[in-house]
Structure formats: structure tokens, C-alpha cells
Amino acid sequence: MNSKKIAYCGLLTTVALLLSYVERMIAIPMIVPGMKLGLANITVLIALYLFDNKTAFCISILRILISGILFTGFASFLYSAAGALLSFIIMSFCKKRNVFSVIAISILGGISHNIGQIFIACIVVENIKLFYYMPFLMILGIATGFITGAIGNKTIHYIKHYN
């Protein structure tokens, strides 16, 4: 752990927090309730590629914890945590395989984030019918995952090139 890495981690966590704040202000027409762009996933993606699983995991958890305290409250914290955990597991697993591109990993992360959230929501309200939203969330997850993946891909190349 050198000072450069510490600085990067702090920066990435801050950017992640900022992005989750910005994301709350962007009002997308509510096709599916509570849908978001998943911009904060960009930072997790970058950390996953620049550093290792452990670092990316810490950044992801820190972001959810702090944004839960600052902006959202406990209920939303639970759902974000479930989504982020599942999406992190899937993304780090796929990254290890070494056959997926950055954008594909981002899309898989987006989709699994949605699945994790719906799963926890179903448990909390004890109603399996929430899976009714799944196909809509699949489409949105692929779309937003592609956008964040493309941004992440460019950023990773840029940082690696100028380091």
C-alpha cells in the first residue's frame, strides 16, 4: 500500500459518493420505480482494473455505507448493499476468468445489481410478485451497464496510459 494507491482510493471513493449524489438528482422518467443510472459502478469498475478485488470491494462498501448515512437512510441502504454485493461478486468472478471485456463485465454488474435488489425487496415485503419488474430491469440494466462500461473503459485506458 503506497501513498499513490491511498490517494487513488480516496479519490475513487469520493467520486463514487459524488456520482451517487448526482444520480439521485437526475430524474429519469419512472418506467420502473427507483431506477438509477448506476454511475457509481464506474468507480468500482476502475478500482477492479487498476488495483485488485479487495480494494474495489472496500470502495464499493464505503460508498454504500456513507451514501446510506448521508442521503438515503436505512431501508435504501439495505437494497443498495444487496445489489452492490451481488454485482461485485459477479464482476470480480468474471474478471478472474479473463475472457470478458470491460463493457461486458459492467453490463453483468448492472444486471446482477438489479437482481440483488429485487431479491432483497421480495424478502422484505414478502411478495414474490416484485419479480414482475425483472424483464424491464434487464433491459435497463443492459443499457445503463453499457453506458457506464463504455465510460469506465475509456477512463481505465486513460489512467493506465498516463501512469
Does the protein bind other proteins through residue 66 (CB under 8 A)? no
Among 129, 161, 162, 163, binds other proteins (CB under 8 A): 129
Give the residue, chosen from 10, 34, 70, 159, that forms a contact with other proteins under the rule CB under 8 A: 34
**Under a CB-based contact definition with an 8 Å cutoff, are residues 40 and 68 in contact?**
no
* 84 neighbors 77 (Cβ within 8 angstroms): no
Nearest to other proteins of 10, 135 (CB atom)? 135
Question: Considering only 9-17, 57-65, 83-91, 125-133, which stretch makes contact with other proteins by CB under 8 A?
Answer: 125-133
The DSSP symbol for 96 reads H
What cell was used for 14? 469520493
* Angstrom distance (rounded) from CA 13 to CA 18: 9
Closest CB to other proteins among residues 33, 163: 33
